[in-house]
Amino acid sequence: MKKKTIGILSCSREIEKEGKLFFEIAKKKGVKVILINLSDKFDIKSFKRKVKQCDIIYCSVWDDFSVELTKTIEEWGIKIIESSKSYYCTEDKWMFYVKCKKHNVPTPETILLSENINNAKSELKQFGRWPVILKRINGTMGEYVEKARGMAEAEQIIKKFWKKGSEKLPIIAQEFIESPSYRVTVIGNKIVQTALKKNNAGWKATGVYAKRFEPFDIDKKLERIIKKTVKFLDIKICGIDVLKKGGKWLLLEVNGQPSLDFFEEEHERIIEEVLNLLIKAAEEK
Ligand SMILES: Nc1ncnc2c1ncn2[C@@H]1O[C@H](COP(=O)(O)OP(=O)(O)O)[C@@H](O)[C@H]1O
Ligand SMILES: [Mg+2]
């Protein structure tokens, strides 16, 4: 079989952090890796030339620009992980909730708020869960996630969210779950890592806010929920945030392009898992 070529769309920071590891491990596996740096000036011709050499592409960053590139690459008929379709739910917290409900996957109770502040307030009153978590339907690293103890605070937060960005994005309200944040990294249909994200400073435990990580044991129940979820989302490489309410697991969100380095000593093993999946997907064509 001809040596497979894997393209990795990345940014300078990621390339510095992981590029070398990708190269070294790919070499051992007898595949070629082409790193495509999205931080460079964008030239469609050279981009297309590089992409066309690849059997498969992995986009390791997520932003609006890389979504456009993903769609472009799909149009050119080259396989890319993740598919643009998977963003429909993973990058939209409301749609994620709707999907979970549809597939009977436990998730915190959530409502979509009207864009009229008076309606939103009356919806919150009816929801009646205080404190309440308010989030923009998209966002990352906890930037647009806040907790309101009461109506006045909720109103302040909503107004701030609508003012902060130039766009008035929809906001969801969600029951507050008192829980550490559990992260499960999934590659293909395989759970490759677990990390308990403890944050001593407060309730928000995202990658950047969390102070310490430690692995945790996954039980059959959570394993089943996770495998079902990655299947209906059709996502291949992801980090799933989970909370626990009275002994019951609740899925909070599924992140594409997850950090692969929660534990430095496992970084290589996780990158190898990513490459194994990409090679397998490239051969399936
Ligand atoms: N409903 C909730 N109850 C308790 N904590 C929450 C809730 N929603 C979010 N959090 C905390 O805030 C963090 C960020 O929220 P998340 O929905 O994952 O947004 P982001 O996409 O910005 O990471 C979570 O990892 C968790 O620690
Ligand atoms: Mg998160």
The CATH number that applies at residue 15 is 3.40.50.360
Determine contact, residues 235/229, Cβ cutoff 8 Å: no
Tokens of 154: 């909720």
Rounded distance, CA 148 to CA 134, Å?
Answer: 7
Rounded distance, CA 134 to CA 258, Å?
Answer: 23
Are 273 and 240 contained in the same domain? no
Question: Is residue 168 included in any domain, yes or no?
Answer: yes
Task: Say if ligand 1 is within 6 A of residue 251 CB.
Answer: no
Query: What's the gap in Å between 57 CA and the centre of ligand 1?
Result: 30
Predicted local confidence at residue 272, as pLDDT: 97
Predicted local confidence at residue 207, as pLDDT: 59
Backbone phi and psi for residue 65, each to the nearest 5 degrees, phi listed first: -65, -45
- Of ligand 1's listed atoms, the one at least distance from the Cα of 140 is 22
- Going by C-alpha positions, the residue among 76, 136, 188 that lies closest to residue 68 is 76
List of residues 6+ apart from 25 with CB closer than 8 A? 268, 271, 272, 275
Domain end (from 132, 157, 175): 175
Question: Is residue 101 included in any domain, yes or no?
Answer: no
Q: Can you give the residue range of the structural domain that contains 153?
A: 109-175
Domain end (from 127, 147, 175): 175
Are 27 and 67 contained in the same domain? yes
Task: Say if ligand 1 is within 6 A of residue 91 CB.
Answer: no
Residue nearest to atom 12 of ligand 1 (CA): 204
Q: Are strands 5-10 and 145-148 parallel, antiparallel or unpaired?
A: unpaired
How far CA 163 is from CA of 93, 157, 172, in Å, comes to 20, 10, 16
267: Cα separation from own chain's centroid: 18
Query: What's the gap in Å between 48 CA and the centre of ligand 2?
Result: 33
Question: Is residue 261 included in any domain, yes or no?
Answer: no
Predicted local confidence at residue 165, as pLDDT: 61
How far CA 21 is from CA of 12, 27, 100, 237, in Å, comes to 14, 10, 35, 17
- Residue to probe by mutation, ligand 1, list 96, 179, 206, most atoms within 8 Å of CB: 206
- Of ligand 1's listed atoms, the one at least distance from the Cα of 138 is 21
Rounded distance, CA 135 to CA 142, Å?
Answer: 9
Predicted local confidence at residue 211, as pLDDT: 62
Tokens of 67: 């979504």
Predicted local confidence at residue 275, as pLDDT: 97
Residue nearest to atom 2 of ligand 1 (CA): 176
Q: Provide the residues around ligand 2 (an ion) whose CB is within 5 A.
A: 241
Determine contact, residues 66/89, Cβ cutoff 8 Å: no
What is the count of structural domains for the chain?
Answer: 3
List of residues 6+ apart from 248 with CB closer than 8 A? 106
- Averaged in consecutive runs of 10 residues, what is the pLDDT profile of the chain (285 residues)? 91 89 96 95 97 97 92 98 92 96 98 97 98 94 93 97 81 96 95 87 68 89 98 96 96 94 93 97 87
Are 119 and 160 contained in the same domain? yes
Are 182 and 244 contained in the same domain? yes
List of residues 6+ apart from 76 with CB closer than 8 A? 48, 51, 52
Determine contact, residues 131/108, Cβ cutoff 8 Å: no
Determine contact, residues 187/273, Cβ cutoff 8 Å: yes
Task: Say if ligand 1 is within 6 A of residue 174 CB.
Answer: yes
Beta-bridge partners for 202 = none
213: Cα separation from own chain's centroid: 18
Predicted local confidence at residue 285, as pLDDT: 65
Rounded distance, CA 222 to CA 99, Å?
Answer: 17
List of residues 6+ apart from 232 with CB closer than 8 A? 99, 103
